[in-house]
Structure 1
């Protein structure tokens, strides 16, 4: 006569092995992941620019990450970002950094005032939506900037700009000179 507990144990062990086998097989046969748990996708500057020669930024609005390479490609950094709220607010294409400012003041655009008539100019400080540093792009009113509201990073939360944590925009501000080529994708 067979032992019912032993049969159940064998059944559970066999079922577990069959369930786990595909996951184990996938884990041992797949190459490195194309993105990490934060959903950052790997980017290569060669997919966006013919050559470097100057520092380069690719801001990926889908994975909400900003990628930076120095002029020779030897220094690569990635930063989590906030991105525009809607597709209508998202401008994509090629631009460059034309101006930099520590302690930027903020003036709402006409479309922002249309949506919220209470918005007013803000000097630098804790309530300023541009945070501690700003990299102005050749497109009017589009900026890569910091934010005092850390809840915005990793989210669709801006009116068109790319936002970074204040400590990360300070780092990028130091290494990205005027003339840095930028692509927003």
Structure 2
């Protein structure tokens, strides 16, 4: 593919597209359509051209990943940087762009579940985070400076969450310390769709 054929979107256009995907995107359980395979998003700055690549950003079927959709099911693909949600009755499907851990050693994969839902979460760094970044605060209350955004889904793995972010530049990037981040409007919707007990698989 030539450079001329690549889609170059500014950040505002991508945010609009991402919002449309999350807020209004509902497909039957068996849908297998491609959203935008290999979509490239470029952000221009005065000094550098930063590039964010979301690969294979496409709808999936739940059946290869779960035995059933009891309590709903969340699949997080750390390679394509996308989160998929299916409701228990399979009538609702959502696909959201995400941030993923910044390095492989911070990435955890496998099966877990939502054990707690918090609107307006507070945040404290883990011991490992504090060791790496001693200048970080010990506690951040809910609000615009909180790294967990407006809503958080706590997983059965200690310190791991699916949460929002006020820093929209992180979405689509390897930018987290282990958690999965979504735009605040997307985590708000997922918060309402999911429940304590929703299945979660990270691949």
Please tell me the TM-score bracket, short chain as reference.
0.7 to 0.9
| Matched residue SS, 2:63 | helix
**C-alpha distance 83-141 of structure 1, shift in aligned 2 (>3 A):** same
Alignment counterpart, residue 124 of structure 1, candidates 142, 147, 150 = 142
Q: TM-score, normalised by structure 1?
A: 0.80
Q: 1:34 offset after TM fit, Å?
A: 8.2
User: Paired residue for 2:101?
Assistant: 84
1:68-122 per-residue CA deviation (whole Å, 9 max, x = no partner) reads 0000211110001000001100000000000000000000001111111011210
Contact 1:96 1:182 in 2 (8 A): yes
1:96-153 per-residue CA deviation (whole Å, 9 max, x = no partner) reads 0000000000000011111110112100011110000000000000000000000000
Query: Separation in 1 of the partners of 2:150 and 2:114?
Result: 17
Q: 1:41 offset after TM fit, Å?
A: 3.7
Pick the structure with more helix per residue: 1
Pairing of 1:44-123 with structure 2 (within 5 A): 44-120=61-137, 121-123=139-141
Alignment counterpart, residue 182 of structure 2, candidates 164, 174, 178 = 164
Q: 1:50 offset after TM fit, Å?
A: 1.0
User: What's the C-alpha RMSD, in Å, of the aligned pairs?
Assistant: 1.6
In the TM superposition, structure 1's runs of 4+ consecutive aligned residues that sit over 2 Å from their partners are 31-39
Pick the structure with more strand per residue: 2
User: Paired residue for 1:6?
Assistant: none
Structure 2: gaps (5+ residues): 1-31, 40-53
1:146-174 per-residue CA deviation (whole Å, 9 max, x = no partner) reads 00000000000000000000011000001
